[in-house]
Amino acid sequence: MTAVRTYSPPQQSTKYEEIDKKRWNVRYLILATFGFILSVKLYFTLFVIDPIVGAYSVLTGSVIFGYFLLSYVKYKDPYYETDYNNPLRIQPLVSIVIPVKNEEDLIRGCVESCINSTYSNKEIIIVDDGSTDKTPLILDEFSNEGKIRVIHNSKNEGKKRAIEIGTEAATGEIFVFMDSDCVMASDAIEKTVRIMTSDSTIGAVTAHGRVRDVTTGNTLQKMQDTWFDGQFRIIKGAESSFSTLSCCSGAFSAFRRAAVQPFIHPWVHDKFLGKDFKFATDRRLTAYVLGARIPSKNPNDSKMSKYWKLKYSPSVRVFIGVPTNMPTLIRQQIRWRKSFIRSIFATGGVFWRRPFPIAVLFYMQLGLKMIRPYIVLKSLLFLPLAGDFTTSIFYFASLMFTSLMYAVDFRLRNPGSTQWLYRPLITMLGVFVFSWLLLYALVTIRKTAWR
């Protein structure tokens, strides 16, 4: 049986609920350091290095500083905005929908984490999308015990279609979508329900993701763990401070039925460049909800209603199965970049409706990511060949500074952990390897797969 880890944040309601006051002071120091380094970058850009690389570095640093600033100063965990010390007053039915294909090594732990959830008013629906390994037999064991409902697809129709089949069978007011290689914390659903029932305008809640079994994992898994931690707490934290998310993670995200159900069928049959886009793009589904207004309860009400709120909570935890070798990781990154390309037109087409500060950061990040391969090539090849090594050193130093800030942030929230040392490694891998996959993903975007 796979052990399911739980996470219990300190039961406080003060400003320092996440970390103590001493570590908060370190956070302020991080922000001050960002400001100082940005001024140094500006000076170098004006008087020392290549102006194009310098301008790119200043803009990138400004965007990252913006995310750190918002996630530190403005963001509050929505779980602590609830009456979390008292029993749940409202317990709507939650439908956990999990699509699966060929996960015989991991599906048992995933299902057991759902069964062992502290939230009782739930139904668990697993859609087997034409697995060819032992996954169907394992699922049938649970089904025969009456613990889950299994729907077997006779043929492989794709992950999105599997999710649609699951939601068609679901009866819950809240849908929880979860990847089959993940394990939820035992209190994840209970905390999610507290958040969603505290505010009827919350359309989605996404969890904080960490790598599954990272303590016994290899270097690659530890690198990915530090990356996930920063992407969730810093990026999603900043976005959530404006009740906005650019992506509700497929690892564990809860959607109010009324917010997501109208868009599941269009999502399943999403087309891109005139062809069905079969990747189960979390960003695309999020974009549908992101751009939707809350239906009015009064059919005669002509006033424009508000947009759904999308929230991220570090108190809601999920542990993610990740690639354990480089070829598998590369394939995953290619899929993610195809999803990113699709999101340029999907998420990018609706994000302007969200609050101005987070929209500006989103569009700046989008543009900077698109030109990163050129900047890397110019900094580390073209300029050195022309005799300009100063710009190359500057660019590399800027990358190391950013990765160090993420590493310090990781260390603050994970006292005693040495995994922060892996953050610079994943940053270098992302810049010098993953950046180039964007070009490959663009060329091969018509090629599709289940995941």
Per-residue pLDDT of 139-149, as tens digits, reads 999 998 888 99
Please check whether residue 148 is in contact with residue 174, taking contact to mean a CB–CB distance below 8 angstroms. Answer: no
Q: Is the pLDDT score of 284 beyond 60? A: yes
The residue among 16, 399, 390, 95 whose CA lies nearest residue 260 is 95
Nearest-Å Rg of the Cα atoms of the chain is 22
- Identify the bridge partners of residue 98 per DSSP, sorted by sequence position: 126
Residue 345 buriedness (CB in 10 A; 0-12 / 13-18 / 19+): exposed
Per-residue pLDDT of 40-72, as tens digits, reads 999 999 999 999 999 999 999 999 999 999 999
Please check whether residue 380 is in contact with residue 392, taking contact to mean a CB–CB distance below 8 angstroms. Answer: yes
Instruction: Give mean pLDDT, residues 15-34.
Output: 84
More confident residue, 92 or 432: 92
Evaluate whether the domain defined by 78-296+304-353 bears CATH number 3.90.550.10.
yes
CB atoms near residue 268 (< 10 Å):
21
Between CA 38 and CA 48 the distance in angstroms is 15
CB atoms near residue 274 (< 10 Å):
6
Q: Is the pLDDT score of 274 beyond 90? A: no
Tell me, what's the pLDDT at 22?
Answer: 86
Helix (H) or strand (E) holding 435: helix 435-443
What is the 8-class DSSP label of residue 381? I
Per-residue pLDDT of 416-439, as tens digits, reads 899 999 999 999 999 889 988 988
Between CA 340 and CA 438 the distance in angstroms is 9
- Identify the bridge partners of residue 123 per DSSP, sorted by sequence position: 95
Please check whether residue 374 is in contact with residue 383, taking contact to mean a CB–CB distance below 8 angstroms. Answer: no
Tell me, what's the pLDDT at 6?
Answer: 38
What percent of the chain has a predicted confidence (pLDDT) above 90?
A: 77
pTM: 0.91
Residue 398 buriedness (CB in 10 A; 0-12 / 13-18 / 19+): buried
| CA-based torsion, 301, 303, 304, 310: positive or negative | negative
Residue 28 buriedness (CB in 10 A; 0-12 / 13-18 / 19+): exposed
Mean pLDDT of the chain: 90
What is the end-to-end Cα distance of the chain in Å, rounded? 26
Pairing of strands 202-211, 252-256: antiparallel
Total residue length of the chain: 451
Please check whether residue 140 is in contact with residue 211, taking contact to mean a CB–CB distance below 8 angstroms. Answer: no
Query: How many angstroms separate the Cα of 1 from the Cα of each of 92, 106, 112, 276, 300?
Result: 29, 10, 8, 39, 55
Instruction: Give mean pLDDT, residues 142-169.
Output: 91
**Domain regions of the chain by residue span:** 78-296+304-353
SS3 state at 109: helix
Between CA 366 and CA 269 the distance in angstroms is 25
Query: Phi then psi for 211, rounded to 5 degrees?
Result: -75, 135
SS3 state at 428: helix
The residue among 371, 373, 428, 419 whose CA lies nearest residue 397 is 428
